[in-house]
Every structure is written in C-alpha cells, then in structure tokens.
C-alpha cells in the first residue's frame, strides 16, 4: 500500500476543477482481471467467488463517492491489480 498527495488533479480535459487529493494505491500480484470483467467490478452482486457476495467493491465505491472521492482499477491479467482510492485532501 502506498499513499501520495496529488496537488493539482483535474478530471476535465481543459484542467478546470483542479483539486488536491490524497491517493492510496493498493496493489497485488494476483491473477489480474480481464477487460470484460473490469466493466462489472463495481456492480452490486457481481462476483466470481463461490461464496462471495459481490458487494465488497460496490460498497467501497459508494462510501468513497459519499466522501466526494473516486476509486479506479488498473489490471493486467497474469500480472496483478492496482486499486487507487482518491479523496479530497483536507488540511
Ligand atoms: N484484486 C483483485 N484481483 C482479481 N480480481 C478481483 C480483485 N478484486 C476484485 N476482483 C474481482 O471482482 C469481483 C467483485 O469483487 P467484490 O469485492 O465486489 O466482491 P467479492 O470479493 O466477489 O465478494 P465479497 O466482497 O463478498 O468477498 C470478485 O469476485 C473478483 O472476481
Ligand atoms: Mg471482495
């Protein structure tokens, strides 16, 4: 796990709405996630586990959105996955 401060982050192409965020990366070297699966990750009840609820990531996304943050995923099948949580920085 790694955390960093993004001091001038903008989601918009022209750089409007810049803000300061704290970003937390959680990385693993597991099986990775293929492209089609990535589209469903945050959908409630989507799971590939025999006993999974499929609610873990949906709940994470909801809590993070309520804090005006975002969560993203970057994955390479066979190599691993990195989730990044970004939250507005309050200092
Ligand atoms: N780090 C990861 N590496 C590979 N696949 C993942 C990873 N995290 C999530 N997934 C995939 O996303 C699916 C949905 O994850 P989510 O956490 O929402 O539910 P779950 O883990 O299946 O169930 P539960 O949260 O009840 O344990 C998982 O079933 C798995 O297929
Ligand atoms: Mg889970």
CA 48 to ligand 2 center in whole angstroms? 10
At 73 the pLDDT is: 98
* Count of structural domains, the chain: 1
CATH number at 33 reads 3.30.565.10
Residues with CB under 6 A from ligand 1: 28, 30-31, 33, 41, 46-49, 52-58, 81
| Tens-digit pLDDT profile for residues 49-89 | 999 999 999 999 999 999 999 999 999 999 999 999 999 98
Q: Whose CA is nearest to atom 3 of ligand 1?
A: 32
Q: Whose CA is nearest to atom 20 of ligand 1?
A: 54
Report the alpha-carbon angle 39-61-20, nearest 5.
110
The ligand whose atoms approach the alpha carbon of 51 most closely is 1
The model carries a pTM of 0.91
* Gap between the Cα atoms of 54 and 24, Å rounded: 22
Q: Which domain range does residue 60 map to? A: 2-88
CB-CB contact of 26 with 1 (8 Å): yes
């Amino acid at each position: 796990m790694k955390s960093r401060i993004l001091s001038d982050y903008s989601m918009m192409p022209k750089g409007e709405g810049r803000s300061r965020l704290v970003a937390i990366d959680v990385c693993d070297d597991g099986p990775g996630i293929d492209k089609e699966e990535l589209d469903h990750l945050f959908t409630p009840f989507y799971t590939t586990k025999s006993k999974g609820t499929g609610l873990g990531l949906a709940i994470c996304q909801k809590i993070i959105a309520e804090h005006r943050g975002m969560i993203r995923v970057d994955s390479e099948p066979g190599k691993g996955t990195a989730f990044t949580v970004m939250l507005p920085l309050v200092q």
